């Protein structure tokens, strides 16, 4: 069963059309008794009488294949060898043979009659005829077919030859059904084409909704979706557009509020800095300046983290390997002990500036606490993994989640002389999660901590 809605609906339509044709076949070839006349003629001895009359005529005349005894459905032949093995007959056919012998007398001891018809053979013959008929459509042989034998009888004459009577199944496949095949096929094709157009009209807005939702999920600003499709689909689009408005309003309100808070905080800090300029004691003055700088740093970092989801950077396709390589080169030029293991290009759809910041935070974290950072990228079909392996002592497993908490610094487990506000890992996780990914921390025995950025690799 296809996974997409369009494929499932079209498959359902095809299944229904096929089921209708199977039901037609079932009713006309299984429930309808096409061989009632045959069974009546066998039961009342009509074919036995016909065979006995033929023997009397043949014994007194020269028989040919086109002898007047043969008809459209009943054929008589004279052959030199028996047609079938009369010793391997079913009980029913043995009874038929005994009735035939009783009719023609002891003069013809080698006589047998065999019914070949069964419901299964009837269906098989009908299918065979159907295939032959379809194969001859639009040809001069449309009305021809290969009839099957449903009853055969043989009697050995006094001269040693054998008289054979064959009852043929002339109409195993009703012609009126065959004649409707072409218009039915044409109707099915037209019906399927219209169904595909209707289904695409239903699923197209749903596909657009899914794409917009994915973009919204990674923090990209999107426009409202135009109303189209069935009413049920339009209701979903309306609900999504209303949600988008609420999210946009909340984000805008939060951005304005944070901007106002930032302004309100900077104002007294600036005033304190101006007043500190008049302090004559240099030690006290430097201490106050240091405290003000620290407060401004905390303020800027806090606002930046709070506005993380409100970045207006557009999503685009880029080579994440080249981006990481360039980033590592820049950090190495700044004196950081960073090594990048180059790999093949990988196209990725995302926000390059935001991802660059997240990778930078992890690299600097590895260099600061683990003295170095070995960066590598692995393409695993559905996801890509960016490994940042340091050379430190690692982190206890029960403390790994705490590392991502804002303003959290695990100095006791790393290096007490390090600085920072403890927002780098929180910002990195926020960026990665906005791309549908995750950051995993793994202690590598004998090496250090491996910070792994796992990002879903969508077709670029």
Mean pLDDT of the chain: 79
Q: What angle do CA 20, 184, 8 make, to 5 degrees?
A: 55
Please give the CATH topology (third level) of the domain spanning 313-456.
Heat Shock Protein 90 (3.30.565)
* Residue 140 reports pLDDT greater than 70: no
pLDDT in tens, 84-114: 888 888 888 888 889 989 888 888 889 999 8
Q: So what's the pLDDT on residue 415?
A: 42
Query: C-alpha 216: how far from its chain's center?
Result: 24
* Residue 169 reports pLDDT greater than 60: yes
Residue 61: strand, helix, or coil: coil
Q: What is the mean pLDDT of residues 387-407?
A: 84
Q: So what's the pLDDT on residue 66?
A: 45
Do 223-312 and 313-456 show the same overall fold?
Answer: no
* Residue 460 reports pLDDT greater than 50: no
Q: What's the DSSP call for residue 225? A: P
Whole-model pTM above 0.75? no
Q: So what's the pLDDT on residue 142?
A: 46
> Tokens 């005994």 identify what position?
98
Q: What is the mean pLDDT of residues 239-248?
A: 90
* Residue 314 reports pLDDT greater than 60: yes
Better-predicted residue by pLDDT, 67 or 415:
67
Please give the CATH topology (third level) of the domain spanning 223-312.
Helix Hairpins (1.10.287)
* Residue 327 reports pLDDT greater than 90: yes
Q: What is the mean pLDDT of residues 359-376?
A: 91
The domain ranges of the chain are 33-179, 223-312, 313-456
Smallest Cα–Cα separation from 343: which of 319, 373, 317?
319
Q: What is the mean pLDDT of residues 410-423?
A: 52
* Residue 146 reports pLDDT greater than 70: no
Task: Please state, in angstroms and as integers, the Cα–Cα distance from residue 343 to each residue in 321, 378, 379, 384, following that order.
Answer: 7, 8, 9, 12
Euclidean distance between CA atoms 17 and 11, whole angstroms: 10
Euclidean distance between CA atoms 272 and 258, whole angstroms: 21
Q: Strand order of the sheet with strand 74-79?
A: 74-79, 162-169, 148-156, 111-115
* Residue 263 reports pLDDT greater than 80: no
* Residue 238 reports pLDDT greater than 90: yes
* Residue 338 reports pLDDT greater than 90: yes
Nearest-Å Rg of the Cα atoms of the chain is 45
Counting every residue written for the chain, the total comes to 460
Could you tell me what percent of the chain has a pLDDT over 90?
17
**Helix runs in 32-160, H state only:** 36-43, 46-59, 91-104, 119-135
- Element housing 296 (H / E): helix 282-306
Tokens of 413: 């487990």
Highest mean pLDDT, choosing among 229-238, 272-281, 326-335, 415-424: 326-335
* Residue 413 reports pLDDT greater than 50: no
């Amino acid at each position: 069963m296809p996974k997409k809605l369009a494929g499932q609906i079209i498959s359902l339509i095809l299944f229904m059309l096929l089921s209708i044709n199977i039901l037609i076949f079932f009713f006309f070839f299984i429930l309808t008794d096409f061989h009632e006349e045959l069974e009546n003629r066998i039961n009342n001895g009509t074919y036995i009488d016909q065979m006995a009359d033929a023997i009397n005529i043949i014994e007194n005349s020269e028989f040919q294949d086109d002898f007047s005894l043969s008809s459209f459905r009943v054929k008589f032949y004279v052959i030199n060898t028996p047609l079938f093995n009369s010793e391997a007959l079913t009980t029913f056919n043995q009874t038929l043979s005994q009735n035939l012998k009783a009719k023609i007398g002891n003069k013809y001891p080698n006589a047998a009659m065999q019914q070949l018809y069964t419901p299964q053979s009837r269906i098989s013959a009908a299918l065979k005829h159907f295939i032959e008929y379809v194969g001859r459509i639009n040809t001069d042989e449309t009305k021809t077919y290969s009839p099957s034998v449903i009853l055969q009888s043989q009697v050995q004459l006094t001269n040693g030859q054998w008289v054979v009577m064959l009852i043929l199944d002339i109409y195993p496949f009703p012609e009126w059904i065959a004649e409707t095949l072409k218009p039915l096929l044409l109707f099915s094709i037209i019906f399927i084409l219209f169904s595909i157009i209707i289904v695409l009209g239903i699923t197209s807005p749903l596909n657009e909704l899914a794409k917009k939702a994915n973009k919204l999920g990674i923090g990209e600003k999107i426009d409202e979706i135009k109303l189209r499709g069935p009413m049920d689909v339009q209701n979903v689009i309306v609900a999504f557009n209303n949600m988008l408005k609420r999210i946009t309003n909340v984000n805008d309100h939060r951005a304005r509020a944070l901007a106002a808070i930032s302004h309100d905080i900077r104002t007294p800090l600036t005033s304190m800095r101006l007043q500190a300029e008049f302090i004559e004691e240099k030690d006290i003055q430097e201490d106050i300046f240091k405290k003000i700088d620290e407060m401004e740093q905390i303020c800027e970092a806090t606002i930046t983290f709070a506005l993380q989801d409100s970045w207006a950077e557009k999503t685009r396709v880029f080579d994440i390997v080249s981006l990481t390589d360039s980033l590592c080169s820049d950090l190495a030029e700044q004196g950081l002990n960073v090594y990048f293991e180059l790999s093949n290009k990988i196209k990725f759809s995302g926000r390059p500036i935001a991802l660059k910041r997240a990778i930078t935070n992890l690299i600097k974290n590895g260099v600061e606490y683990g003295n170095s950072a070995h960066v590598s990228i692995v393409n695993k079909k559905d996801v890509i993994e960016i490994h940042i392996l340091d050379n430190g002592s690692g982190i206890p497993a029960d403390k790994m989640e705490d590392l991502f908490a804002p303003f959290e610094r695990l100095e006791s487990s790393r290096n007490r002389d390090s600085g920072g506000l403890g927002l780098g890992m929180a910002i990195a996780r926020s960026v990665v999660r906005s791309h549908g990914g995750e950051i995993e921390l793994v202690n590598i025995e004998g090496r250090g901590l491996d910070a792994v950025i796992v990002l879903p690799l969508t077709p670029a």
